[in-house]
Amino acid sequence: MSPATHGSCLCGAVHYRVTGPLRPVIACHCSQCRRATGNYMAATAAMRDDLKIEGGENLGWFASSCTARRGFCRICGSNLFWEGKDLPYVSITAGSLDSPTGLTLARHIFVADKGDYYEIADGVGQSQAFEDYDPTPPGPTPPEK
Ligand SMILES: [Zn+2]
Ligand SMILES: [Zn+2]
């Protein structure tokens, strides 16, 4: 079961389709994701070959570290993708997907870096950094830790 899933940026200039399975959503509270998104980054992921981008001429990439880059719409500024060097998948902001996504939140990561103005109280498992979780899609539901 892997229905094509569609998403887009706020202005609609960048569209994408995912033709394979999506990973459960991970919420990343690291300082880079917090600055890039304005709060924290909730993202699913798909294997690279399963992601088809339309309007790619409006897609900009920012090298947010020496091992990762972030894709955004050059027109409206929406955060869309995160891509790690040599990783087989692309992270996709969960908020850019059309509803219903059918996805669930599976993990909070980099909780040690989270903002001091909110609490995480949803009962979903937490990692201080990035331990105990394999982010590669398609993945089984991670064990509760
Ligand atoms: Zn846009
Ligand atoms: Zn992050």
pLDDT digits (tens, 9 = 90+) for 58-100: 999 999 999 999 999 999 999 999 999 999 999 999 999 999 9
Read off the pLDDT band of 133 (50, 70, 90): confident
96 within domain boundaries: yes
User: Does 143 or 88 have the greater pLDDT score?
Assistant: 88
Q: Name residue 2's amino acid.
A: S
Q: Which ligand is nearest to the CA of 93?
A: 2
118 within domain boundaries: no
125 within domain boundaries: no
11 within domain boundaries: yes
What's the predicted TM-score (pTM) here?
0.90
121 within domain boundaries: no
Find the 123 Cα to ligand 1 centroid distance in Å: 33
Q: Which ligand is nearest to the CA of 8?
A: 1
- pLDDT given at position 143: 53
Angle at 45 between CA 36 and CA 48, to 5 degrees: 105
- Residue 69 pairs in a beta bridge with 63, 83
Give the structural domain span for 109. Answer: 5-113
Find the 97 Cα to ligand 1 centroid distance in Å: 13
Q: Dihedral angle at the C-alpha atoms of 133, 136, 137, 139, nearest 10 degrees?
A: -40
Which residues are CB-neighbours of 136 under 8 A, at least 6 positions away? 23, 45, 87, 88, 89
Find the 31 Cα to ligand 2 centroid distance in Å: 7
Answer yes or no: are the C-beta atoms of 114 and 39 closer than 8 Å: no
27 within domain boundaries: yes
- pLDDT given at position 136: 83
Q: What is the CATH number of the domain that holds 103?
A: 2.170.150.70
Find the 54 Cα to ligand 2 centroid distance in Å: 25
Q: Which ligand is nearest to the CA of 28?
A: 2
In angstroms, rounded to a whole number, what is the distance separating the alpha carbons of residues 105 and 53?
24
Angle at 35 between CA 143 and CA 63, to 5 degrees: 90
Q: Residue 145: pLDDT above 90?
A: no
68 within domain boundaries: yes
Q: How many domains does the chain have?
A: 1
